[in-house]
Amino acid sequence: MKELNSASDPIGQNLIKFISNVCFSVFVFSVLIVTVIAITYQPPDPWESSRALTKVFTQVENATFKTDTSVLKTGEDIAESPRLAPAGASLSITDDVIERTEADLKNVSLKSGCEDTGVINCSDPRVLITIERFNLRAFRSLAFLDYQHPVNGSAPNECDVAWRFRNKKEKSWRKYRDFRRFTIGFKDDCSYKVIHAGRWHSGLNARRPRIRTNATRNGPRNKTAPVVRDDEINDTLPVLGSDLAFRNGRYLYYSHGGDYCKGMNHYLWSFLCALGEAQYLNRTFVMDLSICLSSSYTQSHRDEEGKDFRFYFDFEHLKETASVVDEEEFHKDWKRWDKTHKKKIPVRKVADYKVTPMQLKKDKSTIILRQFDAPEPDNYWYRVCEGPAAKYIQRPWHALWKSKRLMNIVTAISGSMDWDYDAVHVIRGEKAQNKELWPHLDADTSPEALVQKLQTPVMPWRHLYVATNEPFYSYFDKLRSHYKVHLLDDYKEMWGNTSEWYNDTRLLNGGRPVEFDGYMRVEVDTEVLYRAKTRVETFYNLTKDCKDGINTC
């Protein structure tokens, strides 16, 4: 019996050891898997909460972007809407403006002596309050910030009034101007009332004085259009000021890479990667304001260099939210330092995007110069933000807003329809011609189909704005039998050679006229579309085809 027990004991001990070894091996292997996942996991970029939109920007085919350029979103479209302050509180970040609400004006008496009902005293404060009440009822999508004192119109019972406002649907704090002509009358109790309100910018006597200036300091005088600057736009170039300020600064400088002349979505994805790295490194980003516009947006169908960043985006807001310096100004300061000082500026040259921002975090060089000399796709700026760097670099989408000059056009178009309109987004172009990826798109966006499909969501004879890349203006004529149709080309005077936009961009361009190109059209179309009461989309309402082609829904 003793011999049997002694013989069986080693077998049991070996079995226990075997089971222990297996369990330990499984534990080690599990820890190894979790570690690998933790190292390689890359969270999505926080630009959009929408997974689909993030996927569009992160999916890369042959390291180039193929995105839908018919709708463009920037920082003001994805930020949280600013909260309106209570009545009497300050709303503006830069200056004090008061939003008057209907409750504030409700108990104000508007009674006046009406011995002479044919003449209105526009300087009477009760006239302004009457107009304020009318605007609050007529334009509920607007927040009215401040008014100027009414002035006389062209008739004894007319008053012209100017005011500043912001659209409640817009996420930025940008303010816009309108001036309208109002016909004022009296009620039975001798209180004021608005008999008729003029259209957008009809109160010509209340507009700012037009000051005629030369297009350039040494250029010929422009006799066709007076220069009228928006006094709330300040996109002048930041200047360092002194050699000491330049030497004490820390800069991140990117050389041109393969992103140059690519599509604008590609450019933005790379530009914001660079700006994000500069913020991570606590450095000033050296920014080239000259953009190469891709052929997909130009009338010549060729890439066009020399486009100013300020044509498309709000440089003033960028300066306020990020530390940037213009490349030309930076080079001037750098050359001046080299001429006047024996000791050169310390420069760290980084030849490979694989050198991560984390490795450069403690670098003390005045200038970190990233060079992108490798062949595509290794010369794209956005490669810096891939891999482990994606956990540390946050693209500052909030810093990128559309140009205030273009937004003034958006406001003018929306205001001309009294902010009460619907919109349909009709995507055609190359997608409608590609029957392999979008087999039904062409038929689903035909004039007959549009008339049929818009009957339910849009009421007859509403103002209908059509945002589209369809080049033929007459394509939407059948809709005119049912709606008051508006297309972007109906507002050409807003960028023509007598417009504020024309003069302002010409000044930025050294006195040379600026083409209102395809990308500007996309920006304006997008923002007018967003402000509509009812919005009908191509790939959600008009067709069952997938936005990115077959089997991508």
Average pLDDT rounded to a whole number, residues 3-29: 67
Q: Which residue, 154, 178, 206, sits at the end of a domain?
A: 206
Inside any domain, residue 147: yes
Average pLDDT rounded to a whole number, residues 32-47: 50
Kindly report the number of other CB atoms within 10 A of residue 27's CB atom: 10
What pLDDT band is residue 243 in, cutting at 50, 70 and 90? confident
pLDDT digits (tens, 9 = 90+) for 88-116: 333 333 334 456 665 555 555 555 556 66
388 and 359 both lie in a single domain: yes
Residue 45 has pLDDT above 70, yes or no: no
Q: Report helix, strand or coil for 443.
A: helix
CB 172 within 8 A of CB 79: yes
Q: Which residue, 153, 185, 206, sits at the end of a domain?
A: 206
Residue 1 has pLDDT above 70, yes or no: no
Share of the chain above pLDDT 90, in %: 63
248 and 395 both lie in a single domain: yes
Average pLDDT rounded to a whole number, residues 433-443: 94
Kindly report the number of other CB atoms within 10 A of residue 218's CB atom: 7
216: closest CA among 495, 502, 514, 508? 508
R_g over Cα of the chain: 31
pLDDT digits (tens, 9 = 90+) for 187-210: 888 889 999 999 999 999 998 765
Inside any domain, residue 523: yes
Residue 55 has pLDDT above 80, yes or no: no
Which residues make beta-bridge pairs with 161?
Answer: 180
CB 426 within 8 A of CB 450: yes
pLDDT score of 88: 35
For the chain, helix (H) and strand (E) counts, in that order, are 17, 16
201 and 315 both lie in a single domain: no
In the chain, the amino acid numbered 416 is S
Q: What rounded mean pLDDT belongs to the chain? A: 83
Inside any domain, residue 57: no
CB 63 within 8 A of CB 376: yes
Average pLDDT rounded to a whole number, residues 284-290: 96
Q: Are strands 463-468 and 422-426 parallel, antiparallel or unpaired?
A: parallel
Inside any domain, residue 15: no
pLDDT score of 87: 36
Share of the chain above pLDDT 70, in %: 79
384 and 270 both lie in a single domain: yes
Between 170-184, 238-252, 266-280, the lowest mean confidence (pLDDT) is in 238-252
In 343-396, alpha helices (H): 357-360
CB 347 within 8 A of CB 367: yes
Length of the chain in residues, anyone? 553
132 and 200 both lie in a single domain: yes
pLDDT score of 431: 93
136: closest CA among 110, 168, 160? 168
Domain that holds residue 421: 404-542
What pLDDT band is residue 12 in, cutting at 50, 70 and 90? low
Average pLDDT rounded to a whole number, residues 436-447: 96
CB 165 within 8 A of CB 145: yes
CB 212 within 8 A of CB 229: no
Inside any domain, residue 465: yes
Kindly report the number of other CB atoms within 10 A of residue 304's CB atom: 18
Q: DSSP strand E in 19-175: where?
A: 142-147, 151-152, 158-167
CA 533 to chain centre: 20
- Two tokens, residue 234: 């300040």
93 and 199 both lie in a single domain: yes
Q: Identify the H or E element spanning 350.
A: strand 347-350
CB 433 within 8 A of CB 445: no
pLDDT digits (tens, 9 = 90+) for 325-347: 999 999 999 999 888 888 889 99
Q: Which residue, 152, 186, 206, sits at the end of a domain?
A: 206
Residues 6+ apart with CB under 8 A from 159: 120, 122, 127, 131, 150, 151, 152, 153, 181, 182, 184
pLDDT score of 109: 57
358 and 444 both lie in a single domain: no
Inside any domain, residue 280: yes
pLDDT digits (tens, 9 = 90+) for 374-407: 999 999 999 999 999 999 999 999 999 999 999 9
395 and 252 both lie in a single domain: yes
User: Model pTM?
Assistant: 0.79
Inside any domain, residue 487: yes
Residue 117 has pLDDT above 60, yes or no: yes
Domains in the chain: how many in total? 3
Q: How far apart are CA 53 and CA 73, in angstroms?
A: 10
Q: Report helix, strand or coil for 426.
A: strand
DSSP-assigned states of every residue in 459-502: -TT-EEEEEE----GGGGGGGGGTSEEEEGGGGGGGTSTTSHHH
Q: How far apart are CA 37 and CA 31, in angstroms?
A: 10
pLDDT score of 30: 76
Average pLDDT rounded to a whole number, residues 434-452: 96
pLDDT digits (tens, 9 = 90+) for 120-158: 999 999 999 999 999 999 999 899 999 999 999 999 999
Q: Are strands 142-147 and 151-152 parallel, antiparallel or unpaired?
A: unpaired
What pLDDT band is residue 221 in, cutting at 50, 70 and 90? very low
Q: How far apart are CA 42 and CA 57, in angstroms?
A: 15
Residue 197 dihedral angles phi and psi, to the nearest 5°: -115, 130
pLDDT score of 214: 44
pLDDT score of 491: 97
260 and 395 both lie in a single domain: yes
Q: Report helix, strand or coil for 273.
A: helix
Q: Are strands 142-147 and 158-167 parallel, antiparallel or unpaired?
A: antiparallel
What pLDDT band is residue 170 in, cutting at 50, 70 and 90? confident
Of 59-63, 342-346, 438-442, the range with the highest mean pLDDT is 438-442
Q: Are strands 142-147 and 284-287 parallel, antiparallel or unpaired?
A: unpaired
Residues 339-358: b if buried by 16+ CB within 10 A, e if exposed: eeeeeebeeeebeebeebbe
390 and 419 both lie in a single domain: no
Residues 222-246: b if buried by 16+ CB within 10 A, e if exposed: beebebbebeebebeeeebeeeeeb
Q: What is the CATH number of the domain that holds 433?
A: 3.40.50
346 and 418 both lie in a single domain: no
Burial (0-12, 13-18, 19+ Cβ within 10 Å), 283: buried
Inside any domain, residue 548: no
Q: How far apart are CA 105 and CA 133, in angstroms?
A: 7
129 and 145 both lie in a single domain: yes
Between 74-78, 259-263, 373-377, the lowest mean confidence (pLDDT) is in 74-78
